[in-house]
């Protein structure tokens, strides 16, 4: 979504590297490039002017002039201002103190309200809530049926007393849904309302009537992030006509320039509360301004990645894999496949990799990543016998040919998988034992293995040892003769002659029972 903006900002910051002090010309040039980048991203002009003015003012201040690295300080300023125009802090839902919490969705037709209603219901269900979906879009053909299908997919009941398709009273349905929720003890009611292809008086009046009838705790304006400047115009119209408490951005996974996300908060003063970034029902979450700013500046979004991993990863399986990597067992191809399948639950690999810092420079490679690669890996591993998965070292030429035929791949693909598994296993074992990446030495602070290689000293070169006879009898005689010639062991106490620990212990006059410690 923000690829164009991210690329332009990255290029701008590259020009600042290596400068120990920023001149007025540097600051003006940087502000100009940022202005162009924002305008190209479809950010509203008033927002652009306010944003660049704030950056120039802070860049001329003491925080930059006294900084050890002015270029990094400029990046920090841009990051802070991005967070500010995106909303500052994460805005969470307000729940009713008594009775069901009512959430009303409003927006234009095609923004994705009906699908988003189901996504929101699933998200609330995961938070421990008991939601009820309400079909109040009685205008669009099959809108009621679509909500019912989506509700079934996420396991959330749908209140739909009217068939829709142009018939029925949406206000009466909304009122009846509150009674239904109270009767069946649903604690959240999500009202899906009708949209139009454009803002009109009839739509606004219907939305006003539904709002007056149910008195919602939250009114969320659903907007397609791909419609650019028109998103701001529509948001202002809804704010004046109906009013809303927060914004939900849909289709953030699209290839639009994303200016709507940066404009709506500044223009309307209402925070972006949720974001939908995919077609799956799970592609929905809270909108975090700081994390979105990090993505735009190619700083990554590790917190979101960690949260998603916590949701989908099997902790018991992950713990067993970690134990095997640390030496308690052998990490096999079955374990490797299990880890790959768990990673796949997070979503597309390109999306996952895009959350890592600095991956913007590999944007083209991520875009061209073949998501079916995990399917190919799975086919190859599952074409092996259990013994071959446990010990890939037994894979000779004939076995590899059989596996290749069974999986529909080439022998070279099987070879590559085994090589990649071997290298990945080595790297993960080294990290698990506290070492570093292969070829990089140990990593500071990584546990008991730290410094093993760094502190290891080269063993002294061994000279040629004394020849030993191959005859067992002669070898025994030679060993006895060598023992007789050997000097007495050094006495650790510095006393002459040998040292008898039993005799010394007997002279200590220990209490009864303690003398057994020396036997």
| pLDDT above 90: residue 335 | no
Q: Which residues on neighbouring strands pair with residue 193, listed in sequence order?
A: 136
The confidence score (pLDDT) of residue 403 equals: 92
DSSP state of 99: S
Torsion angle (degrees, nearest 10) of CA 235, 240, 86, 249? -30
What are the backbone angles phi and psi of residue 116, rounded to the nearest 5°? -65, -30
Residue 388 C-alpha from the chain's centroid? 33
Report the alpha-carbon distance of residue 40 to residue 78 in Å, rounded. Answer: 17
Kindly report which listed range (154-158, 163-167, 170-174, 504-508) carries the lowest average pLDDT score: 504-508
The confidence score (pLDDT) of residue 234 equals: 79
Report the alpha-carbon distance of residue 193 to residue 238 in Å, rounded. Answer: 13
Q: What share of the chain is helix, strand, coil (3-state, %, to 5)?
A: 55, 10, 40
pTM: 0.60
For residue 264, what are its two tokens? Answer: 């709506």
Question: Which one has a higher pLDDT value, 50 or 352?
Answer: 50
By the 8 A CB rule, do 262 and 62 touch? no
pLDDT band at 336 (very low <50, low <70, confident <90, very high): confident
By the 8 A CB rule, do 244 and 267 touch? no
Residue 308 CB coordination number (10 Å): 19
pLDDT band at 173 (very low <50, low <70, confident <90, very high): very high
Alpha-helical (H) ranges within 45-166 are: 45-59, 62-65, 70-85, 113-126, 143-154
Q: What is the mean pLDDT of residues 348-368?
A: 60
Kindly report which listed range (95-99, 135-139, 238-242, 357-361) carries the lowest average pLDDT score: 357-361
The confidence score (pLDDT) of residue 307 equals: 60
For residue 327, what are its two tokens? Answer: 């030496």
Report the alpha-carbon distance of residue 271 to residue 269 in Å, rounded. Answer: 7
Question: Which one has a higher pLDDT value, 306 or 286?
Answer: 286
Question: Which one has a higher pLDDT value, 151 or 485?
Answer: 151
Question: Which one has a higher pLDDT value, 67 or 449?
Answer: 67
Q: What domains, with CATH codes, occur in the chain?
A: 3-85 (1.20.120.140), 101-297 (3.40.50.300), 306-432 (1.10.260.30)
| Best-predicted range by mean pLDDT (7-11, 70-74, 247-251, 511-515) | 247-251
Question: Which one has a higher pLDDT value, 153 or 232?
Answer: 153
| Best-predicted range by mean pLDDT (218-227, 321-330, 393-402, 444-453) | 393-402
For residue 261, what are its two tokens? Answer: 């996300």
The confidence score (pLDDT) of residue 350 equals: 63
Q: In this predicted model, what pLDDT tens digit does every residue of 259-269 receive, in sequence order? A: 666 777 778 88
Give the residue numbers of the binding site.
107-114, 192-196, 250-253
- For residue 351, give the 3-state DSSP assignment: helix
The confidence score (pLDDT) of residue 353 equals: 63
Give the residue numbers of the binding site for GTP.
107-114, 192-196, 250-253
Contacts of 198 (CB under 8 A, 6+ apart): 108
| pLDDT above 70: residue 435 | no
- For residue 191, give the 3-state DSSP assignment: strand
The confidence score (pLDDT) of residue 188 equals: 92
Contacts of 63 (CB under 8 A, 6+ apart): 73, 77
- Rounded mean pLDDT of the chain? 74
């Amino acid at each position: 979504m923000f690829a164009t903006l991210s690329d332009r900002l990255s290029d701008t910051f590259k020009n600042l590297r290596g400068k120990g002090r920023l001149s007025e010309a540097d600051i003006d040039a940087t502000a100009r490039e940022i202005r162009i980048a924002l305008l190209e991203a479809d950010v509203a002009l008033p927002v652009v002017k306010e944003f660049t003015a704030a950056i120039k003012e802070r860049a001329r201040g003491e925080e930059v002039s006294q900084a050890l690295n002015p270029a990094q300080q400029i990046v920090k300023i841009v990051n802070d201002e991005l967070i500010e125009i995106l909303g500052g802090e994460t805005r969470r839902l307000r729940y009713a103190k008594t009775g069901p919490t009512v959430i009303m969705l409003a927006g234009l037709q095609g923004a994705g309200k009906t699908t988003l209603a189901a996504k929101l219901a699933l998200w609330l269900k995961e938070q421990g809530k008991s939601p009820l979906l309400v079909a109040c879009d009685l205008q669009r053909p099959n809108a009621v049926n679509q909500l019912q299908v989506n509700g079934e997919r996420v396991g959330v009941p749908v209140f739909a007393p009217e068939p829709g398709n142009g018939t029925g009273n949406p206000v009466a349905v909304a009122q009846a849904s509150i009674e239904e929720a109270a009767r069946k003890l649903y604690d959240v009611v999500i009202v899906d309302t009708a949209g139009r292809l454009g803002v009109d008086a009839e739509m606004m009046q219907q939305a006003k009537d539904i709002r007056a009838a149910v008195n919602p705790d939250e009114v969320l304006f659903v907007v397609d992030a791909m419609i650019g400047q028109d998103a701001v115009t529509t948001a202002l119209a809804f704010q004046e006509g109906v009013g809303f408490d927060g914004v939900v951005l849909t289709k953030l996974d699209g290839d639009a320039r994303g200016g709507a996300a940066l404009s709506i908060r500044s223009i309307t003063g209402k925070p972006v509360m949720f974001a939908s970034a995919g077609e799956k029902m799970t592609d929905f979450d809270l909108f975090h301004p700081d994390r979105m700013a990090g993505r735009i500046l190619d700083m990554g979004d590790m917190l979101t990645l960690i949260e998603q991993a916590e949701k989908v990863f099997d902790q018991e399986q992950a713990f067993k894999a970690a134990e095997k990597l640390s030496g308690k067992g052998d990490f096999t191809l079955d374990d490797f496949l299990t880890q790959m399948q768990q990673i796949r639950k997070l979503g597309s690999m390109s999306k996952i990799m895009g959350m890592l810092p600095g991956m913007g420079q590999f944007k083209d490679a991520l875009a061209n990543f073949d998501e079916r690669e995990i399917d190919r890996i799975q086919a190859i591993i599952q074409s092996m016998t259990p013994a071959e998965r446990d010990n890939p070292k037994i894979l000779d030429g004939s076995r590899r040919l059989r596996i290749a035929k069974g999986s529909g791949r080439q022998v070279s693909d099987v070879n590559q998988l085994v090589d990649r598994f071997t290298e990945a296993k080595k790297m993960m074992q080294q990290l698990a034992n506290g070492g570093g990446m292969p070829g990089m030495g140990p990593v500071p602070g990584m546990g008991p293995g730290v410094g093993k290689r760094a502190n290891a000293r080269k063993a002294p070169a061994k000279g040629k040892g004394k020849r030993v006879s191959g005859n067992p009898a002669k070898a025994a005689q030679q060993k006895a003769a060598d023992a007789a010639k050997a000097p007495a062991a050094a006495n650790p106490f510095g006393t002459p002659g040998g040292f008898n620990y039993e005799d010394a212990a007997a002279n200590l006059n220990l209490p009864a029972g303690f003398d057994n410690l020396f036997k």
